[in-house]
Amino acid sequence: MGSGYLGATHAIGMALLGHDVVAMDIEKEKISLLSSCELPFFEPGLGELLRKCMESGRLRFTTSYDDTVEADIHFVCVGTPQLPGSLNADLRWVETAFTELARRICSPAIIVGKSTVPTGTARRMAEIVRRHSSDPRVEVAWNPEFLREGRAVEDTLKPNRLIFGVESPHAEKLLRAVYRPIIERGCPVVVTDCTTAELTKVSANAFLAMKISFINAMAKICEATGADVLPLTEALGYDDRIGRRFLGPGLGFGGGCLPKDLRALCACAADLGLDDVALLIRQVDSINLSRRHRALVLGRELLGGTYVGKRVCVLGAAFKPNTDDVRDSPALAVGVAAHAENAHVVIHDPVAMNNAKRAHPELEYAETIVEAASEADLVMLLTDWTEFIDMDPELLSTTVRSRNIFDGRNALTPERWHAAGWNYRA
């Protein structure tokens, strides 16, 4: 149920494991693209696997709930975006999926939630199922998904763990059977209750967000004291209790998951009366957002104090490299803020331009790095795509008006840029 990023990838993964899969979505356009072997989003390597599954006859797509009733196991993979004007997640699609399935299923099937949801959702879904299903044996389980955009194929076929939130041995047995090839390759399985399974996913994302905000908090101290956050990060990373990954200081996190999951967890902690927990989570969010403002300030300093009338080349629109997803993108947020300060902003991104244009038609877009940097007073690297990291400072010097570069991801080698006569800030 749900053939977006999570659902389409999961459906392809299940078909590759040898199961017969029907993937459903209410969006006709999405289903018609997928049915003709086209992905509605950018994900390296997934398109080929989609074609392979369609050719094998083990995967098909539909817009009708009725086509899904005969399945032994249903995975609910619909979106849970942030509710406008609230920290909470919008659960309407999860509720609809469980309700519509429960109304139709009349055999002892299992409905497994994969969507990221606030704690307690599975319990509520079990009530919905009890109310609407004609078969009392229909069960609810939770099996959270940890895939990263840009690495979806690897994360789906070789996950680093499987979490089964189950309320009966039968549900565990069925999930083990579904994932057998992955489990046989040695993937650890944690079997627990539904509530713990739900919380596992949210707390994993909150921890990753906290690591990024922690190093960005240290970056603030470094800036205030003249210390250097990069060797600091390297030194911390050698301690394997801390680890180097997700300790990259810079513009911070964005996307459709970390920010909204963090906010939903904050709302959940506040509802539970756990004010200290809510405060911790809120600070992680607030430190992260403060990085966007800091980027804007550093850019303004490079421009000599004002954005008004200046040409600013923004490199990156996606929230991270290897995706075309621009949801809560720090790069776009900075571009929009510079535009609001009356800069002439020109954006380039290798794959996310169409999504960015749809979200921000007021900004200007260029097809190449050189075109975007033409006559620029400032170049801002805001998403760490390889092609931006590999840019030649000498070549770029010939196209810009002023050699000012802001490196929002600590991705460039400052010495190279200094040597080519650039003012470099990170």
Query: Which residues are designated catalytic?
Result: 257
- Please tell me the count of residues contacting ligand UGA according to CB under 6 A: 21
Q: Which of 163, 212, 296, 376 binds ligand UGA (CB under 6 A)?
A: 212
- The CA distance from 197 to 171, in Å, is 14
Least spacing, CB of residue 256 vs ligand UGA, in Å: 6
| Residue closer to ligand UGA, measured from CB, 252 or 299 | 252
Q: Quick check: 281 binds ligand UGA (CB under 6 A)?
A: no
Least spacing, CB of residue 197 vs ligand UGA, in Å: 14
List 140's β-bridge partners, or say none: 111
Residues 312-331 that bind ligand UGA (CB under 6 A): 319-320
Q: Which of 25, 139, 149, 324 binds ligand UGA (CB under 6 A)?
A: 149
Residues 40-69 that bind ligand UGA (CB under 6 A): none
- The CA distance from 6 to 226, in Å, is 43
Least spacing, CB of residue 273 vs ligand UGA, in Å: 26
Q: What residue type is 126 in one-letter code?
A: A
Least spacing, CB of residue 147 vs ligand UGA, in Å: 5
Q: Quick check: 220 binds ligand UGA (CB under 6 A)?
A: no
| Nearest residue to 60 via CA among 111, 104, 24, 33 | 24
Least spacing, CB of residue 351 vs ligand UGA, in Å: 14
At which residue do the structure tokens 């940097």 appear? 373
- The CA distance from 370 to 313, in Å, is 10
Residues 228-257 that bind ligand UGA (CB under 6 A): 246-248, 250, 252-255, 257
| Residue closer to ligand UGA, measured from CB, 129 or 287 | 287
- The CA distance from 155 to 18, in Å, is 18
| Residue closer to ligand UGA, measured from CB, 101 or 208 | 208
| Nearest residue to 89 via CA among 208, 263, 205 | 263
Residues 331-350 that bind ligand UGA (CB under 6 A): none
Q: Quick check: 166 binds ligand UGA (CB under 6 A)?
A: no
Output the CA angle 13-16-20, nearest 5 degrees.
Answer: 95
Q: Which of 148, 176, 220, 357 binds ligand UGA (CB under 6 A)?
A: 148
Tokens of 237: 């990373």
Tokens of 160: 């680093």
Long-range contacts of 125-132 (CB under 8 A, 24+ apart): 125/94, 125/95, 125/98, 126/167, 126/194, 128/95, 128/98, 128/99, 128/102, 129/98, 129/101, 129/102, 131/102, 132/99, 132/102, 132/103
Tokens of 211: 């690591």
Least spacing, CB of residue 398 vs ligand UGA, in Å: 30
Tokens of 23: 């993937």
- The CA distance from 209 to 235, in Å, is 20
| Residue closer to ligand UGA, measured from CB, 138 or 352 | 352
| Nearest residue to 75 via CA among 27, 154, 149, 6 | 6
| Residue closer to ligand UGA, measured from CB, 89 or 126 | 89
Q: What residue type is 161 in one-letter code?
A: R
| Residue closer to ligand UGA, measured from CB, 21 or 212 | 212
Tokens of 72: 């032994």
At which residue do the structure tokens 């809510």 appear? 278
Instruction: Starting at the earlier edge strand, list the strands of the sheet with 162-165.
Output: 73-76, 110-113, 139-142, 162-165, 189-192
Least spacing, CB of residue 334 vs ligand UGA, in Å: 13
| Residue closer to ligand UGA, measured from CB, 87 or 208 | 208
Q: Quick check: 208 binds ligand UGA (CB under 6 A)?
A: yes
| Residue closer to ligand UGA, measured from CB, 165 or 252 | 252
Least spacing, CB of residue 44 vs ligand UGA, in Å: 13
Q: Which of 206, 258, 269, 332 binds ligand UGA (CB under 6 A)?
A: 258
Q: Which of 3, 80, 82, 116 binds ligand UGA (CB under 6 A)?
A: 116
Helices (H) and strands (E) in the chain, counts: 18, 13
- Given the rule CB under 6 A, which of 60-68, 87-95, 127-135, 145-153 is the region that contacts ligand UGA? 145-153
Footprint on this chain of ligand UGA (rule: CB under 6 A):
116, 145-149, 205, 208, 212, 246-248, 250, 252-255, 257-258, 319-320
